[in-house]
Structure 1
């Protein structure tokens, strides 16, 4: 490995070990490398600005704001109520409800931690009251929340689309079936785990109850329909769709459900601005890191190393999966796209792996990273909600981690799961 690569990755690793925030770690390691190897420091502000000054990235703050509004507008509790009436009476029904509502809310928020935060205060206590172990409940919610970056609209897909120059609209469609498959494997795992608990079962809902719950939840169910329908109907772009989602959420929260009060809107704007600033700071810092990887020949050297191991497409995918799973334990999805895509892109082009398919594979990998210690962000959000330690949830997450890996293998080696729906839609 070259001295530049050793300095860049070595300093980053040390900073991460010291628990320095990822954005600061990326920026500091990049600046140190620029300074030591006499690369003009003027590239620092220029690269960070050009990385963030992109129209497409406007979708990120809008989707974050939309998710925050949906969380506070009462949509989540109505989705949970509807799902509970549909399948809650089944054996292990509340576990199924957790996964189903996570899929619904994922199609609203586009974020894993946001999905866990929005649903956790209702689902974890309900599961515990029904006889589920608290650690298992929090672990299932964490794993289900990871669907948030796979099912559209996904903030992760927006970033990947910008980095890899792939259509964000196609990525959204490509993520639907893999996201549902991810949820299905979690349902199977939860039903197996639930067998050792004495679960209380509720009676089946009447037709009248189901109709009433559906009518109340329809505004939340319609959110992804409006967003995706507008994109693929040619009415608006993914970035404009994010803005539409914000206004739709405000109308539902303020005037239809009326759970969102006008005086709460300013605090929602502040909360969303802080979250957006964190993401965009990571984008800016990671872009400088990626610039050094590309211009200093590090990406080419690392690509050559991987290709020297094997040039078989399936072998390359397995090696990349392992790298991504390890990376997901330490860095977030946004950083991973910017750091690793310059390395992977030449390899993908040489061995003939479709970038749309790979975008889904990489995103599923990084979704799993949200539930793997030590930096699994979903785990920490769920720990705070359930008031348990990271050790307890780390043990409980194992069966759901195994289920997630099964989904990853299927998505990796069955490209039709990602490419079939876009092809069917003529994309």
Structure 2
């Protein structure tokens, strides 16, 4: 970045080296995530099952993972062998050095899943589950003529039915997508399975996604350096003495921290432990705290540099800078609506023991927080002014945070670096494997003609652009309740964004509507994964928050409707 911007001599080979290392990072990280059980999955139904049934479901999930990995090892080897004839322009090395990451890590994943099955499941149970799976596979093979006669309705069997079953029994989302795609292509088409590997590799290799591990690492870094705590302490000194003040602080902190970390779990983990103890002292109900935290997570989905914004830019071609600019005002509107709800919900808050900080205390907290408050400004300014791309700007944040942590806050323990890097790799691998599997599934859906049929149906919706947006709100809310935002966007973004353009909806406006609609589903019980993440971070039983979250979600829904009706809220500053 310095070579290009300062010396006007770009380092050409750096992108090629980054692309090679990035795919290895993604695959090795996904292997680590598999070993640690860190892949994104829906555990609602598994947790509701009795212990005996849960063991059977876990065994079935492990066998599905093993089957997917076994099916891609040979195609991955063939794909890597074919890529050896392609050399990179600058480094002049064979592309197989990069694509062999899929082969090597597929073998490692197989070893991991076999080891896990040996540790957790009895052989008799594995044989029984394998027999059931073999019967199901044989049934699909025998039903081939009938499924082919169904035309594109057979997509429901594979991409709805099979995927839903896999996700319901706790199979990680990426592997559920992958096995559904492999099954469809193997049984319904003559397409070689190397296509699945090539599509996965393409989905995981966008250089714009290099910002994912960097922003994940940045989010973890600001937590260990104390920058997040400094920001929250300053906001608390300003508003902590007013009724509902700490609720406002939580919303403001989520707004600021979301502009740094880009990952919702990291955002909530940075804010909740700082504020929840004091809020409980003031008599706040634990369920109310988690409800507000969950709603604030949904509110802040469009705040840059959100990973969902970056993903939309990578899969749809929408300008990342425009998405970063367009996401600020919608999130601010939702934050204000949540603040109104928090005001009425905190009328009985006990402030008798809370004193108002003096100007000296506020000034001291502000001085301490200045370096932390500058970070979001540095990140956004670097992108808007063209100093750095959305990928590169994360490195500015990391260097800045490290320097401030060492020189200002003096809390940069080197012993935490290795665990932070491993955590970054695992989360990155989990995210990118979903993107890769969803890219392959999206390609299969496109080749089947589904995208054309979907476009025809959506364009015929009554009400023109407004009717299309209304249907999109419902569709993305449903998607968000069963999928994370990233896989849903990767899967359906390339299909729906062209339709939005066709009916006259601005792409940035549509991105805001889609993201916020998905966030409603993501943080809405009983299926929303984000709701349970918030409960886990707040260490609160979900039952305590279940009845209290709906009023906050209703406020968010009002905000989404306003954003749909008034596009200026999304594109007014572009």
Same-fold call, TM > 0.5?
yes
Structure 2 counterpart of 1:382: 534
Structure 2: any 5+ residue segments left out of the alignment?
1-150
Relative to structure 1, the CA distance from residue 210 to residue 197 in structure 2 (aligned partners, 3 Å threshold; closer, same or farther) is closer
Q: How many Å separate the matches in 1 of 2:550 and 2:462?
A: 31
Shift of 1:72: 1.5
Shift of 1:369: 2.8
TM-score by length of 2: 0.71
Contact 2:291-2:549 at 8 Å conserved across structures: yes
Q: How many Å separate the matches in 1 of 2:362 and 2:240?
A: 12
Out of 193, 212, 216, the position equivalent to 2:368 is 216
Is it true that 1:336 corresponds to 2:336 in the alignment? Answer: no
Contact 1:89-1:201 at 8 Å conserved across structures: no
Shift of 1:17: 2.0
Which has the larger Rg? 2
Is it true that 1:205 corresponds to 2:357 in the alignment? Answer: yes
Contact 1:132-1:199 at 8 Å conserved across structures: no
Q: How many Å separate the matches in 1 of 2:456 and 2:208?
A: 32
Structure 2 counterpart of 1:294: 446
Structure 2 counterpart of 1:193: 345
Is it true that 1:237 corresponds to 2:352 in the alignment? Answer: no
State which drifts further: 174-183 or 3-12. 3-12
Larger RCO, structures 1/2 (Cα 8 Å, 6+ apart): 1
Is it true that 1:8 corresponds to 2:159 in the alignment? Answer: yes
Contact 1:87-1:94 at 8 Å conserved across structures: yes
Is it true that 1:27 corresponds to 2:214 in the alignment? Answer: no
Q: Deviations over 1:111-163 (max 9, x none)?
A: 21111111111222221111111100111112112344211111110000111
Out of 118, 131, 135, the position equivalent to 2:287 is 135
Out of 247, 265, 269, the position equivalent to 2:399 is 247
Secondary structure of 2:170's partner? coil
Structure 2 counterpart of 1:425: none
Structure 2 counterpart of 1:303: 455
Contact 1:109-1:148 at 8 Å conserved across structures: no
Is it true that 1:36 corresponds to 2:187 in the alignment? Answer: yes
Contact 2:508-2:571 at 8 Å conserved across structures: yes
State which drifts further: 301-310 or 249-258. 301-310
Q: How many Å separate the matches in 2 of 1:318 and 1:382?
A: 28
Q: How many Å separate the matches in 1 of 2:236 and 2:552?
A: 21
Out of 512, 524, 539, the position equivalent to 1:372 is 524
Shift of 1:44: 0.9
Shift of 1:276: 0.8
Shift of 1:36: 1.0
Structure 2 counterpart of 1:277: 429
Q: How many Å separate the matches in 2 of 1:342 and 1:174?
A: 20
Shift of 1:260: 2.4
Superposed CA RMSD: 1.6
Aligned length: 422
Contact 1:131-1:199 at 8 Å conserved across structures: no
